[in-house]
Structure 1
Amino acid sequence: MPRERLAAARSLIAVNLVGDAGFLQTLPATRHLGVGRDGGVVVWLDDAEGEGPVLDPVRPDRPPEVELNGEGALPRALLDHPRAQYVEAAFDGLGDPVAAPLGWWHVRVWLKPA
């Protein structure tokens, strides 16, 4: 397989999204959005660049505006959103032998007030 196609294949991930759908559309690393077979979002991401946003050290006293989860390792590019105020991320390395053999990640994002 040509090296360019392999690099592009690594940036393709499936994401389950709850909340502000515009989060992925306005994410700087998003190259393309699509719909997966199960109705989830399929995202083509560029690699994360730079240090990412400056996040607040304390979680806001309100529910998160966006929740994301998916299989495998958490792509750092998903966290580098200019509107992110606070982010919580967790990874279950054991996953499920059938549904998520590569583990499972979950992210909660609080957005800066508009």
Structure 2
Amino acid sequence: MNHAHPVTAKPLTAVEIDGILGKPDYLDTLPAVRHVGACREGGLVVWLESGLDDEPTLDEVRPDRAPEVELHGQGAPCSALVDHPRAQHVEMFFDGLGDPECAPRGWWHARIWLRAA
């Protein structure tokens, strides 16, 4: 016997973050984030919902202050980690060469400036 499922599960993407500096609640306020959990060696695993279309309008000029949030991790960067509704300016860097032992898939680093609440 087959039953129709009333809710279709949405696909989630897991991203490991090795470090975060700045606003501690930043990840919890991202629209795509469904869960944040502890990972190895003090890092975090962030479960992101894919397919969100609302992208913030960013300023092209970097503000003359320190970024409110900095994130970094291994592998390719994930744009959902910087798509914050209050994002004013974002800089994301990717080093595809990485390190053969510590980061064989490369490193990414993001700096996020937020608008005032």
So what's the TM-score if we normalise by structure 1?
0.87
Calculate the aligned-residue CA RMSD, in Å. Answer: 1.2
Long gaps (5+) in structure 1? 1-6
1:29-108 aligned within 5 A: 29-108=32-111
Kindly tell me the number of residue pairs found equivalent between the two proteins.
106
- d(CA) in 2 for partners of 1:82, 1:13: 20
- Which runs of no fewer than 5 residues in structure 2 stay unpaired? 1-10
2:16 maps to 14
Q: Are the structure 2 counterparts of residues 48 and 70 from structure 1 closer, same or farther at C-alpha, using a change threshold of 3 Å?
A: farther
Shift in Å at residue 51 of structure 1? 5.0
Structure with higher Rg: it is 2
| 1:29-61 Cα distance to aligned partner (Å, 9 max, x none) | 101011112111211111152251000111100
Identity of aligned residues (%): 56
- Aligned AA for 1:64? P
